Structure 1
Amino acid sequence: MEKNLGIKSQTYYPFTAFLVSAIILVIFYLKKGENSLSAEDSTTKHGNSSERCNYYSGKWVFDNKAYPLYKGSQCPIMTEDFACEKFGRKDLMYQNWRWQPHHCDLPRFNGRRLLESLRNKRVVFVGDSLGRNQWMSMVCMLVSTIPSLDNSLQLQRIIYRFQATEYNATIDFYWSPFLVESNCDDAWEHRGLENRVVRFQAIEKHATHWADADILIFDSYIWWRDSQIKFLWGSFDDQNGIYKEVSMPHSFEQGLQTWSDWLELHINRHRTRLFFVTMSPTHSWAEEWGRSADQNCYGETQQIRKEGYQGRGSDPRAMQVLEAAIDKLKKRGLTVQILNITQLSEYRREAHPSIYRKYWQSLTEYQLSHPSNYSDCAHWCLPGVPDTWNELLYAHLFHD
């Protein structure tokens, strides 16, 4: 009897040990799988776990618990051209939408983590007022995340500078609407110019201001849409300069050629990360979504629901030119990450300032009563869509 019990126990305990080990291994791999699908990961939820997620294929999801990421009134450095609530906008639901990729989650923005990674570094947004729109969004996201953050702000003619003092981290916006030199390079004095003149082969004057950056985020598109752009061979002081009108997309292509040539020769591939933000759509023609031709984004409170919608404010040829320029750089060993914000922003006709803003000066009573003529349907209210652009930037910075 005792002998039989001994034989049984000798068989039973090794089997039990094996079973327990197997269960522990299963739990370990299941837990590992859970972690790999967390919001702090950029792999897809389906298929091969090594497959990278397409952040830009997704939909807008209403989320009034987590969004907005900050309140405009609590961002002490908010400029008035994006402060829609301050200037009377009452419908604020445009602030409560979260971009949800189809097969993964965007990582939650963490201001402290970002600033820690930017310690002793410099970030520069380079471009036009839409780049400034995104820069202002980023600054508000950081200030609101860390209310006690010791910081300083300097607003100069071509450089807006935010510095997180305790991190020695600098986040700048540099005004250069064409990237290359133009007669619009003064951020305060470019209004009212009848003709836009571009020195399409000259970029050095601008590039010296951002050549030492650790992260560069470029944008340039909307100014190139002007049909009256003139290319200049020679300097602005040269009375014998040669001028020629060049249209889109050839003008944009020539400008990007100069930009990419400069990057190839001067950027430190081991230090500087490069991004290019695609064209930000406008919503100036309401007939595109079934309203009368004399209307625009004013009064809109709902998104466009048609999947894949594209308005005529976005030029597919410009996207092709940009992709070709970046592909050429990649073949030469220089990587520029595209932040493809165009399609996700196309749906957001309701998120523009329209008449709820102050740009240079307040709108007059006449202008306020004629929103079809005086609405801003190009820039974006803050908090709003540019916050998502920065969430995408954050995802690429930490998960690529």
Structure 2
Amino acid sequence: SLVSEREHELVGGIRRRKTRMSPKLPSHVFPWLILITLPSLYFFSSFLSLHTFSFSSPISQSLSISNCNLFRGHWVSDPDRSPLYDQTCPFHRNAWNCLRNERQNMTFINSWKWVPLNCHLHRIDPFRFLGLMRNKNIGFVGDSLNENFLASFLCILRVADHGAKRWKKKGAWRGAYFPSFNVTVAYHRAVLLSKHEWQPKQAEAGMQDGSEGFYRVDVDVPADDWAKIAGFYDVLLLDFVFNRWNSDKFPKEKPLVFYKARQPIVPPLGTLDGLKVVLANMIVHIQKEFPGNTLKFWRLQSPRHFYGGDWNQNGSCLFNKPLEENELDLWFEPRKNGVNKEARVLNFVIEEALQGTDIQVLDLTHLSEFRADAHPAIWLGRKDAVAIWGQDCMHWCLPGVPDTWVDILSQLIHDGLGRTVLGPRYENLELLCLKCSRLILVGRKALMEEATHWSSISYTETRSVLNTMHHRAFFELLNTTLDMVERDSPSSVVVKS
């Protein structure tokens, strides 16, 4: 047990010694003691709750919470659940603003809650999160699904700062600044991550019979939009989208030709092999250029739900409820030739490439696979949109599924910043927090049991027990934390964190 026998004795000592206690506690002091003690215990427990415990560290595993998996679980209906923002958020993108576009069943779509395996996913508190991120910046890099993610994030954070204004760093497509907290969140569009450009037919390399030209992909050169952002962002979220690599986006007459050190790679690489080389080189760039204290995440693929054809083949996603667990493999499993199998194919490649790095995998694929019901579909904000682009079964309605992505990301950022601040001693603090919280729970129970007998307990004895059980635990925790912070990271920003 995390609570030692000695700790139980400290709490249980009231009962064993009360026959010897003298003088008695005056009856008029009893109400004041309750008013002082219980808020103190509540304050301390609240202090502990500010710490989001890791679900992956060795220490956590030894504390029986290692079975928690934020990325695996199921959706449950929660009729009382409602979005944190609406169609008036200024950071919406028209095609994803399903409330304004009057998409059917939006109340029902947003009534589903993600329940992870063996743990609870806390809904983001925008005020608390921005307080944690004060004087820090968050960057999204990747394709339009990361922009979809960003729009949800900005609308949620705006709840805590209505003074938020549009802002973007040079090279960013869009973003926002939250002046009350001095926090910037921005998105850099880089669908291939590496630099790529169209080469017309007269180019000397990579030509094939019948081709109009080719896309030159420099596998070792980051795209201009994000090439110079290292050092600005404290949190970085990247992604890499497969549909930009498939034959619909890069048809045979417009092939990809991969370059390294400004020379065509010989022999020429196929699409998937070229993708692997791009990943390897971009990961090397990230590891080299971005400081070790930058918290880095890589979002795995967001699944598509085209049914009956692809986006340009009248594919549709007019579903009215989430998919069932036993339907997922038929949709997404490569071994079963799932109709939208590319997400799992690419996830395997990405996870393999990220091994041995400090980039954390943000695996939002599985939870999103269920939600065939939550895409904009035909509600795109323009009457001719479907005729031009087809249904959108790739991006997500807002509010919607990306709001759950935000809940997960915010929890991981909270945990990750704790590790960044405290370094290798984070697990020690984690264990101490858990021990103290268990001790306080035991103390609460004992105080409740003894409440009817407090009139016979001396003031001196009660104060002694409370000091031993409560104040010592609190100040040991506080002093330990401050010692760690001052020794490892003396800057005022870190201390505030």
TM range (shorter): 0.7 to 0.9
Aligned letter for 2:363? Answer: N
Percent sequence identity over aligned pairs: 23
* Distance of 1:111 and 1:14 partners within structure 2: 45
Q: Give deviations 1:236-279, integer Å, cap 9, x for gaps.
A: xx9x967986444322211111111112221211x200000000
Q: Give deviations 1:127-164, integer Å, cap 9, x for gaps.
A: 00001000001001111x22533433459875212111
Structure with a larger share of its residues in helix: 2
Unaligned runs of 5+ in 1: 1-12, 21-26, 185-192, 289-293, 330-334
Task: Please state if 1:298 is matched with 2:317.
Answer: yes
Matches for 1:3-152 after TM superposition, within 5 Å? 15-17=16-18, 41-42=52-53, 48-49=63-64, 51=66, 53-71=68-86, 73-92=87-106, 93-143=108-158, 145-146=159-160, 148-152=162-166
> Which residue number in structure 1 is paired with residue 397 of structure 2?
381
Three-state SS of the structure 2 residue aligned to 1:58 is: strand
Does the 8 Å contact 1:63/1:98 carry over to 2? yes
> Which residue number in structure 2 is paired with residue 326 of structure 1?
354
Q: TM-score normalised to the size of structure 2?
A: 0.62
> Which residue number in structure 1 is paired with residue 224 of structure 2?
205
> Which residue number in structure 1 is paired with residue 428 of structure 2?
none
Kindly tell me: are residues 308 and 285 of structure 1, through their superposed partners in 2, closer, same or farther at Cα, counting changes over 3 Å? closer
Does the 8 Å contact 1:216/1:275 carry over to 2? yes
> Which residue number in structure 2 is paired with residue 256 of structure 1?
279
**Segments of 4+ in structure 1 off by > 6 A?**
34-40, 43-47, 240-245
Query: Pairwise CA RMSD of aligned residues?
Result: 3.8
Does the 8 Å contact 2:196/2:223 carry over to 1? no
Q: TM-score normalised to the size of structure 1?
A: 0.75
* Distance of 1:204 and 1:220 partners within structure 2: 13
Larger radius of gyration: 2
Aligned letter for 2:272? Answer: P
What's the CA shift for 1:224?
A: 4.3
Does the 8 Å contact 1:43/1:49 carry over to 2? no
Does the 8 Å contact 2:167/2:176 carry over to 1? yes
> Which residue number in structure 1 is paired with residue 377 of structure 2?
354
Task: Please state if 1:399 is matched with 2:399.
Answer: no
Aligned match of 1:181 in 167, 179, 195? Answer: 195
What's the CA shift for 1:179?
A: 0.7
Does the 8 Å contact 1:99/1:388 carry over to 2? yes
Q: Give deviations 1:171-211, integer Å, cap 9, x for gaps.
A: 00000001111128xxxxxxxx9854422221163443321
* Distance of 1:55 and 1:298 partners within structure 2: 26
Does the 8 Å contact 1:345/1:385 carry over to 2? yes
Task: Please state if 1:161 is matched with 2:175.
Answer: yes
Three-state SS of the structure 1 residue aligned to 2:373 is: helix
* Distance of 1:264 and 1:324 partners within structure 2: 16
* Distance of 1:198 and 1:46 partners within structure 2: 43
Aligned letter for 2:412? Answer: H
Aligned letter for 2:396? Answer: W
What's the CA shift for 1:349?
A: 0.5
Determine which structure has greater relative contact order: mean sequence separation of CA pairs < 8 Å that are 6+ residues apart, divided by chain length: 2
Kindly tell me: are residues 148 and 49 of structure 1, through their superposed partners in 2, closer, same or farther at Cα, counting changes over 3 Å? same
Matches for 1:304-343 after TM superposition, within 5 Å? 304-307=323-326, 309-310=328-329, 311=332, 312=338, 313-315=340-342, 316-329=344-357, 335-343=358-366
Task: Please state if 1:214 is matched with 2:215.
Answer: no
> Which residue number in structure 1 is paired with residue 433 of structure 2?
none
Kindly tell me: are residues 161 and 391 of structure 1, through their superposed partners in 2, closer, same or farther at Cα, counting changes over 3 Å? same
* Distance of 1:141 and 1:284 partners within structure 2: 28
Q: Give deviations 1:352-400, integer Å, cap 9, x for gaps.
A: 1111114xxx3428829xxxx8101110000011111111101101135
Aligned match of 1:170 in 184, 203, 226? Answer: 184
What's the CA shift for 1:70?
A: 2.0
